[in-house]
Chains A and B, each alone.
Chain A
Amino acid sequence: MLSIVCLQAATTTVTTTKPSAPAAPSTNNNNNASKQPEKEEPSTVAELSRYHFELCHPFEGKRSTTQADQLVWLASRLVTRLPVRFLGAKGQKDLWKTVNEHSLPARGFNLRKYKKRQQQHKGVDSRGRDIGEYTAKEWGIRQEKRVTLSCLQLQSQRFRELRDRQKRGFVDYQTGDQVLVTDSEYTEEKQRRREMERLSRELYGAERMARQGKLALDPEWDDVVPIVMEDPENALAAIAYSPDYAEAMSYLRAVMSAKEYSPRSLKLTEYIINLNPAHYTVWLFRAANIFAMKLPIPDEITWLNQIALENLKNYQIWHHRNLLVEHYHPSIASDPPALASFATSEREFLTQILAEDTKNYHVWSYRSWMVGKLGVWGNPEELRSTEELIEQDVRNNSAWSHRFYLVFSDPENCTPGEKYAATEADPKVPGEIVDREVAYAEEKIRLAPQNQSGWNYLRGVLVKGGRGLSSVREFAEEFVKGLGEGEEGEEVRSSHALDLLAEVYKELGERERADLCLRRLMEKWDRIRGGYWQWRREGLELAEVAA
């Protein structure tokens, strides 16, 4: 009842008071309205909506209006909201007339909509610009993007539903065919998500949107819930991971804990290996995938070759190769041609990678292991390619070391079962092998007498072959002339020869000459090792006392 009274009052007032040009406030000449012309035309969306709001909300906005204006406005509100029929035909007519005559600029203005829009005008876009500052045209473009994004989201939703139907084995009711998501649909979805990601970032910026990583955007990974792990707050040496790496690791943890061995898991390992090839966990998981899916090992090795060439100092790559060969070997062990051809392809690759880095410890360690595993010590090509590296650089100790392994661990030339240590004589080593190797070492030593690789090899051969060091006395003496005969008379071309001669003379009981060698090493030819030479000299004395 109260409302009716009010309405009547309002109507009465409205009809009796002539509002002055309420529709054109800018031309109003009262005090308040006179300020309006000074105000600039609204140019941004925020200003525009504010302007509209104020026009229609004389009580709420900053804009003040005359009392008459306010009454017209009030009437306009009443006419749409109250059951005006209670006013009777006359009252209604007057009311409508008043309202229509003074038609307000935005009579039907909806406060709720306004507030919603105001929300949309808040915040900043991806470039940090206040959205309220947009012009109407820019706003329009932005709205278009939002619509596009919504459409894409719908399509993406449709894709998910389709895939879900496929998973459940649904049949298309029109064609009777199985529902099937085609590869091109996958590809489209992938592109669509990238587009959605791009639009979202453009519209909302990084702040309001959790970044969608590559995998989160890939429909293939939709069913995996990544296991996100963060270091404790005070963790030491914590690494600021790139978002891609952090995301990939969280998916890796998820598939590992589910023990999922699948093509996508394999692809994930490749992705992570490219980001961080030193991650042992991912390599082991990769190997597990390959074995579980029974993938062809030679294919994996081909893939691995490229990775190895790109990461020369990486150890995990070689451990992986080791696992692969260990796994592959039984399948070719009883097939000599297959074994030989595998050994050849391995050698070819190793030759290629050693050309890049001739002393790479991982590569050489793998190589000697592989030779033993495949049993190709005696393969002439293996020896020849090692020899080639010694030809290129007679100081390449890794190549010398490999040669020693090839020759003296060959079951043809040694007692089986590693019965004798490398520093022990093995009675099964054939004399002609010892002769051949001694000759080889001597030839190489002559090229560069101060190269220790050759001397170490020579000693190693003599020890292995059970020959006394004194058997090379004459050879070693070639490099030492006039020892102890003063600065002019003494000519030493190799400290290693002196070292060896000290032992030769000791072996032959010529203690003084032995001591002279050691003394000259200490005094002149290898002074940095003085403490060691001194220790040897003490040992020499002791040996004589004992004798």
Chain B
Amino acid sequence: MSTSQSPPPGPSQQPPPQATTSSQPDDLEVVTDDNDSDYSSIDSEIPFSTPNLPPSMTTMMIDSLFTTPPPLHDPLITPTSTLQDETLSDILPFLSSSPLPPDLFTYNAYNVPSLRREAHIAFLHASLGRLPGKFVAADASRPWFLYWCLSGLAMLGEDVSRYRDSVKETARSMQNGSGGFGGGGGQLSHLATSYAVVLALAIVGGEEGFEVIDRRQMWRWLGGLKQRDGGFEVSVIITLLDLPLDLTPESPAYKPDDPSFNLLSGVADYVRRCQTYEGGISSSPSAEAHGAYAFCALGCLSLLGPPSITIPQTLNLPSLLSWLSSRQYAPEGGFSGRTNKLVDGCYSHWVGACFPLIEAALANSPTPVNDSLFSREGLIRYILNCCQDETKRGGLRDKPGKMSDAYHSCYVLSGLSAGMHQWVLEDEEWMVLPYLEGEQVFENADRVRPVHPVYVIPQGAVRAMRGYFRGKGGFN
């Protein structure tokens, strides 16, 4: 969906954290927004009253949905089915028994292990530190490491404002005079890395950090990139930095005879062309539907206007929803990224985080969403049972047998947050509440902080950055 190359790992997305001063999840009973002093709190605290679990006495039966193979299984064997069957047999023990090391995990009455908050926090802090030489493949995507780690830390309740100076310095070292940010010093500016840097600066907050961004140059640079198609990343940068939409005459897309053609013109139409016959969204108009692009598409449309208008106007919503819903598998509970592919923790975000946007899109329709469109229990079980690293390393992962990494940590946590909360869009303001329907299979202590459903960073961080730049008026 972006106008130039996509970043190395995965597509172009953002995760989310919630910056807060305390990391105790129980705080959530009173606070949903970060209360970092730096953020101007607009719609401050939303009172939460989270019912706690019944005291764990005897282990409750796990729904057989999550412990037995699916009811329908074709006898025909192909490479896809072989891989799926093998993966399922690897995952099933994690879902039905308690195979995780008891010194690192405690199981609750629902046979769901606790979130190893401290271990994940330590892993993400370490991932922001000096990386060994084998990370050279990440040399062009260091801004993503900043974003993934900071966002993940914020979701885990860590105060990340201590990174203000270092994010600022790091961002400077990646900045080009042209206005954009590259993957590191001396690298060309790139939309994806610029997007990640802007989000990282927003997460840690602080006006000094915001001031690193040269908005006028950024605006010119974006105009220079503008082609007839557009992207989610551009929309995010524009809205966060409160940039004008006009194109300068130097832009290759500038139309002297059509002054209304701007930075975001044609974006919605491009998104429309990316919907495939399956209902999902692809990276470009001729490719296969893929979870990451579904989120980018919905996020982008939600920034172009009210999602209840832009999304149904642009996309075939019923077929998109059908496709999104098909991404959740049982008994795994997690999401896959494409038809007939395996579940992977990162799609907890790419697919899972689509649902709040879909709900917003359906809000004013004849068929609003009354309940959850996906199995929250399934997703939460998958994440807590299968996506937590089982060693001292910490961090979150794709599935059992895989190594944890910053990318998965961020997006698995975002998915977990999507599973634990629900969002309502009222008067252009997103409001979050804990999801309270049905049984809650996780402990309150495991609740992670919500993140903005489009920017995937703490809501307060979004407000602070937008507010700051809006307040400036113009480029001064």
Contact = CB atoms under 8 A, between A and B. Distances in A.
A401 B326 CA distance: 16
Question: In this complex, which of A284, A397, A452 has the most chain B Cβ atoms within 10 angstroms of its Cβ?
Answer: A397
A237 B277 contact: no
Nearest to B172: A232
Given A236-B146, A394-B78, A531-B375, A422 B290 contact: no
Contact of A239 (B133, B173, B321, B339): B133
Contact of B371 (A405, A525, A534, A539): A534
A91 to B, nearest CB: 75
B273 A418 contact: yes
B287 A235 contact: no
Interface stretch (B26-34, B52-60, B123-131, B424-432): B123-131
The interface residues of chain B, by DSSP majority, are classed as loop
The 7 closest A-B pairs by CB, nearest first: A460-B277, A395-B80, A528-B330, A368-B286, A237-B145, A401-B288, A532-B325
Contacts of B341: 359, 397
Interface of A: 227, 229-242, 245, 249, 252-253, 256, 275-281, 284, 315-316, 319, 358-359, 361, 364-365, 368-369, 371-372, 392-398, 401-402, 404-405, 408-409, 418, 421-424, 447-453, 456-457, 459-461, 463-464, 492-495, 499, 524-532, 534-535, 538-539, 542, 546
Contacts of B328: 528-529
Contacts of A525: 71-72
Contacts of A463: 277
Nearest to B167: A236
Contact of A232 (B79, B170, B282): B170
Given A359-B338, A364-B287, 7 more contacts: A236-B149, A245-B133, A281-B188, A361-B288, A371-B286, A532-B373, A535-B371
A96 to B, nearest CB: 70
B431 to A, nearest CB: 21
B372 interface: yes
A227 B185 CA distance: 11
A319 B5 contact: yes
A431 to B, nearest CB: 18
A539 B146 CA distance: 43
Contact of A457 (B65, B277, B284): B277
Interface of B: 5-6, 8, 65, 71-74, 76, 78-81, 127-133, 135-142, 145-146, 149, 163, 165-167, 169-170, 172-173, 182-188, 190, 272-273, 275-279, 282-290, 316, 319, 321-322, 325-326, 328-330, 333, 338-341, 366-367, 369-375, 378
A418 B284 CA distance: 13
A231 B173 contact: yes
B136 A276 contact: yes
B74 A448 contact: yes
A539 B366 CA distance: 8
Contacts of A359: 338, 341
B284 A365 contact: yes
A28 B183 CA distance: 77
A478 to B, nearest CB: 14
A127 B141 CA distance: 39
A277 B273 CA distance: 31
12 contacts: A241-B133, A278-B137, A359-B341, A365-B288, A397-B339, A397-B340, A422-B275, A453-B340, A492-B72, A525-B71, A529-B325, A531-B375
B76 A447 contact: yes
Given A452-B340, A528-B65, A240 B130 contact: yes
B275 A234 contact: no
A452 B169 contact: no
Given A239-B139, A395-B340, A358 B79 contact: yes
A423 B378 CA distance: 30
Given A237-B149, A456-B277, A227 B186 contact: yes
Contacts of A405: 286
Contacts of B282: 365
B438 to A, nearest CB: 10
Contact of B72 (A227, A408, A423, A495): A495
Contacts of B163: 236
A241 to B, nearest CB: 6
A456 B340 CA distance: 11
A456 B339 contact: yes
Contacts of A464: 277
Contacts of A393: 78-80
Contacts of B73: 450
A203 B124 CA distance: 44
A241 B190 CA distance: 22
Contacts of B142: 236-239
Contacts of A449: 74
A368 B276 CA distance: 13
A468 to B, nearest CB: 15
A288 to B, nearest CB: 11
A279 B136 CA distance: 9
Given A281-B140, A365-B284, A535-B369, A253 B72 contact: no
A451 B326 CA distance: 12
Contacts of B321: 532, 535
B173 A242 contact: no
B386 to A, nearest CB: 15
Given A232-B173, A396-B80, A397-B341, A528 B133 contact: no
B373 A239 contact: no
A109 to B, nearest CB: 52
Given A238-B131, A281-B182, A450-B73, A421 B275 contact: yes
B43 to A, nearest CB: 28
Contact of B139 (A276, A451, A531): A276
Nearest to B286: A368
